[in-house]
Structure 1
Amino acid sequence: MDIEIGRAKRARRVYSFDDVAVVPSRRTRDPENVSVSWSIDAYTFEVPFLAAPMDSVVSPATAVMIGQLGGLGVLDLEGVWARYEDPEPLLEEIRSLPADRATARMQQIYAEPIKAELIRDRLAQIREGGVTVAGSLSPQRTQEFYQTVVDAGVDLFVIRGTTVSAEHVSKHLEPLNLKKFIYELDVPVIVGGAATYTAALHLMRTGAAGVLVGFGGGAASTTRTTLGIHAPMATAVADVAGARRDYLDESGGRYVHVIADGGLGSSGDIVKAIACGADAVMLGTTLARATDAPGRGWHWGAEAHHPQLPRGHRVQVGQTGTLEEILYGPAGVADGTANLVGALKRSMATTGYSDLKEFQRVEVVVAPYQGH
């Protein structure tokens, strides 16, 4: 239903995860009888969690840890691990910077050129850990480094930006032809973010195996403040899930996975993302709270050190527990930041669903109380 902003402008009412809630059904289950496994292409994971390609969340070592815990760690191939032989002192410096100097100093640190040999070595380090290997590049860097990534033996390739379209227009640079690129690539590609039905449908038509849903929804992002752009996630995920359904019919049965990426600060948000139609979720802030995450309680993304227009901050998110405790518990807090798997299983069991595909059909209501 459109709402009149003024005589010359109307707007659609949309919803964030805080605005909705799932509803129990007539049947309940034992949480031990619930499956939260997830598959994309030839790869199956015990939990539907991808660790966001952010330096505060994923290092080669934590990518291996997350893989061993049943998820997928995605390494940022434009981060400090691809720029410096030993990034640990720089990570320590970023964590200790005073707030008024953080952005400018991070811009200097990330001005160091990306090195193809470091991309190769970091991905090899993850592969040696015996887990699925995933790396991420922005659309702007994909043309330059994708061959290095593929030659290094990546299993899943992620093209992630604030927003990614299938029809980028530029007067100065030859844009990335996503459809041609994905067709010629030998590995599954996850691409995004997208926040609307139309944008997602176009990305699905490029041959992507998965679409990331989100736009500036993370705790470290100021995209809404800087650019005035924001996509409330409950509506965005449901819209993109609608595009998945229609593309399934259009393509004669090709299923594209929907991955919520942003606004997922608690286990309840993860539950609601899947209830709105997501197949899996990409987690940043939630995993940055791990004591063994590279940020050590601090969190930042690529937007925080953009050379011309930073659209994010380095933020202190605190520490909840180890990666294993955050994923599997036991939880020592009652705020939805630990034992994410247990919370998801319990919510599915309470509403009577046995797997994630079934749970996407759960009844959802618009809640009359925001943020509780």
Structure 2
Amino acid sequence: MSNEIEIGRGKRGRRAYSFDDVAVVPSRRTRDPQDVSVGWQIDAYYVDIPVLAAPMDSVMSPATAILLGKLGGIGVLDLEGLWTRYEDPEPLFEEIATLEGAEVTRRMQEIYSAPIVPELITQRLHEVRAAGVTVAGKLSPQSTQQHWRTVVEAGVDLFVIRGTTVSAEHVSSTAEPLNLKRFIYELDVPVVVGGAGTYTAALHLMRTGAAGVLVGFGGGAAHTTRTSLGIHTPMATAVADVAAARRDYLDESGGRYVHVIADGGVGRSGDLVKAVAVGADAVMLGSSLARAQEAPGRGWHWGSEAHHPQLPRGERVRVGTVGSLEQILHGPSDTPDGTVNLIGALRRAMATTGYSDLKEFQRVEVVVSPYTPNNNR
């Protein structure tokens, strides 16, 4: 059955859905929230909660990566951010928080024009390793060839290659592209790669040997990709499509399971619930964790797209502060808007629908029910 609609006589388009467009349906069984397991495992690493922190300067510092690891998740450091460009970036975080108007983008471009210092990559990753938590770092595809050896030699446990979009077949007439399949094959650490927004793109990434695929394209709170490039991936459809690629690759490869990680559009606890419901094994959180008291952004949130030197496709956005990182993940909550106690809400949703673990919960019934202020109860 096709869900394509006619845009005009010469163009048809497939209908796609965001997390706001779908809802989870309770079944005949319920259970106690304390009987629900929200743990998952990627490669050799068991993770207590299905949360990776987005590698964004407003979200992750070495200190918050360590704290998130102790709270059960995985903090991914941006190895092209301020922490690997400056010995002490704290004054720059203070400055970014006070920028106003038209100066924001220009000044951020200046700040991020400083070169990446390989010794600082090593130093930051060693700080996280010394704390005894899982060490994860991110490079963009453009920087991977230059800095990957430094990252691996520093002892990273999980290598993340993350861009606005990442393909297994990048074509360039001016430079040799990163050969993902050869690169991943030669590494001794698991690689998570993305973003991808379609079945075909994800399947090709899975065939490179990636341990996980990030699903998303310009869907984060700080992105302006849709308005600047006209490109957008409604997340519910994207995650479900990539989950289908995971299923088919599992058969194709003779049993190799690749994790699907929703990266974008997960701003509140209900989005986390629905991401898992449509097929995600875990989520990568940006704005949700930028609201933490410990977040480096001081109530502001931005990604690498906000300071791109030629074509900025993001903004510094005000997300405010709602509580500590522990409260945001595990509660207790004093607000009903889904910004605090994300894992408690996930447990409650799984318990209410009768599922005991994340893999089971991926089979929950989902309906199309577009959100409006009048039908949210």
Q: TM-score, normalised by structure 1?
A: 0.99
Q: Find the residue that maps to 1:358 and give its secondary structure.
A: helix
Q: Find the residue that maps to 1:99 and give its secondary structure.
A: coil
User: Which of 141, 144, 147 does residue 142 from structure 1 map onto?
Assistant: 144
Q: Distance in 2 between matches of 1:367 and 1:90?
A: 44
After TM superposition, the structure 1 = structure 2 runs for residues 128-207 of structure 1, keeping only pairs within 5 Å, are 128-207=130-209
User: Which of 209, 214, 217 does residue 215 from structure 1 map onto?
Assistant: 217
Superposed CA offset, 1:271-307 (max 9, x none)? 0000000000000000000011101110000000000
Query: What is the deviation of 1:38?
Result: 1.1
Q: Distance in 1 between matches of 2:142 and 2:19?
A: 31
Superposed CA offset, 1:296-323 (max 9, x none)? 1100000000000000000000111000
User: Which of 258, 263, 276 does residue 260 from structure 2 map onto?
Assistant: 258
The one-letter code of the counterpart of 2:326 is E
What's 1:102 paired with? 104
What's 1:320 paired with? 322
Identity among equivalent positions (%) equals 76
Q: Is the 8 A contact 1:14 1:235 kept in 2?
A: yes
The one-letter code of the counterpart of 2:135 is V
Moved over 2 A (4+): 368-372
The one-letter code of the counterpart of 2:367 is V
Q: Find the residue that maps to 1:117 and give its secondary structure.
A: helix
Superposed CA offset, 1:184-205 (max 9, x none)? 0000000000000000000000
Q: Is the 8 A contact 1:217 1:230 kept in 2?
A: yes
User: Which of 359, 362, 371 does residue 360 from structure 1 map onto?
Assistant: 362
Query: What is the deviation of 1:65?
Result: 0.1
Q: Distance in 2 between matches of 1:296 and 1:343?
A: 25
Q: Is the 8 A contact 1:19 1:370 kept in 2?
A: no
Query: What is the deviation of 1:368?
Result: 4.3
Q: Find the residue that maps to 1:224 and give its secondary structure.
A: helix
Query: What is the deviation of 1:369?
Result: 3.6
What's 1:271 paired with? 273
What's 2:50 paired with? 48
Q: Distance in 2 between matches of 1:248 and 1:99?
A: 49
Q: Distance in 2 between matches of 1:369 and 1:201?
A: 31
Superposed CA offset, 1:12-57 (max 9, x none)? 0000000000000000000000000011000011100000000000
Q: Distance in 1 between matches of 2:371 and 2:84?
A: 44
The one-letter code of the counterpart of 1:196 is T
Q: TM-score, normalised by structure 2?
A: 0.98
- Give the number of aligned pairs: 372
Q: Is the 8 A contact 2:20 2:370 kept in 1?
A: no
The one-letter code of the counterpart of 1:132 is T
Q: Distance in 1 between matches of 2:348 and 2:90?
A: 38
Question: CA distance change for structure 1 residues 369 and 293 in 2, over 3 Å: closer, same or farther?
Answer: closer
Q: Distance in 2 between matches of 1:351 and 1:261?
A: 24
Quote the RMSD (CA, aligned, Å). Answer: 0.6
Superposed CA offset, 1:138-179 (max 9, x none)? 000000000000000000000000000000000001000000
1:82 counterpart = 2:122: no
The one-letter code of the counterpart of 2:27 is S
After TM superposition, the structure 1 = structure 2 runs for residues 120-135 of structure 1, keeping only pairs within 5 Å, are 120-135=122-137
Q: Distance in 1 between matches of 2:66 and 2:33?
A: 27
What's 1:16 paired with? 18
The one-letter code of the counterpart of 1:198 is T
What's 1:236 paired with? 238
Uncovered stretches (5+) of structure 1, i.e. residues with no partner:
none
Q: Find the residue that maps to 2:169 and give its secondary structure.
A: coil
The one-letter code of the counterpart of 2:131 is G
1:57 counterpart = 2:59: yes
Query: What is the deviation of 1:370?
Result: 3.9
User: Which of 311, 321, 339 does residue 313 from structure 2 map onto?
Assistant: 311
User: Which of 89, 92, 95 does residue 94 from structure 2 map onto?
Assistant: 92
The one-letter code of the counterpart of 1:256 is V
What's 1:7 paired with? 9
Query: What is the deviation of 1:99?
Result: 2.6
Superposed CA offset, 1:75-123 (max 9, x none)? 0000000000000000110111003211000000000000000000000
Q: Is the 8 A contact 1:57 1:299 kept in 2?
A: yes
Q: Distance in 2 between matches of 1:306 and 1:34?
A: 42
